[in-house]
Amino acid sequence: MSKAHHHAHDHEACAHGHPPTDALTFAEARCAERRLKLTPIRREVLEHLAGSPAPVGAYDLIERMERAKGRRPAPITVYRALEFLLEAGLAHRIESRNAYVACAHRHEHSDLVLFMICDACGCVSEAPAAKVQADLDLIAAAANFKPTTKVVEIFGRCAHCA
């Protein structure tokens, strides 16, 4: 079991910076506005991500979905749902954890997001990083480098664990 499950305080304040229902409301609105289909499996994956205070790996998602519904989804089904959520800007991949979090912030998929990951409880919060993105773009251009992925993860202590 991860450290997040052993921590006693309420994670809601640091969970992902928003309550789980915000992620679902945002997802419905974004899908409607962009004519994307939020299928039942995509919604279910998003609900599990939004309900977790810490990033969730794909196989942990499969286990949670099996416990919740009594059926085990195929890994490819979950990975396809995750891919859709990432491309639609409804979830993020935490690279260092090889895990995912829901997103309810109105930013574009291409926008750089800074992730703050608590070493003690594992919760993740996100913040826009336009200035960091501009600096990274300048640094990369000066080196004649074309990044394909830009991820900024900062590790430390959340407000509850500090």
Q: Is 31 annotated as a binding residue?
A: no
Q: Alpha-carbon distance 27 to 21, whole Å?
A: 10
Q: Alpha-carbon distance 47 to 69, whole Å?
A: 13
| Spatial CB neighbours of 36, under 8 Å, sequence gap ≥ 6 | 30, 84, 88
Q: Is 103 annotated as a binding residue?
A: no
User: Buried b vs exposed e over 117-126: b needs ≥16 C-beta within 10 Å?
Assistant: bbebbbbbbb
Q: Is 158 annotated as a binding residue?
A: yes
**Which has the closest alpha carbon to 16: 106, 114, 101?**
101
Tokens of 127: 């913040």
40-50 vs 58-69: helix crossing angle, rounded to 10 = 110
Where helices occur in the chain by DSSP H, the ranges are 3-6, 20-34, 40-50, 58-69, 75-87, 130-142
Q: Is 161 annotated as a binding residue?
A: yes
Annotated binding site: 118, 121, 158, 161
Residue numbers in the known binding site for Zn(2+) are 118, 121, 158, 161
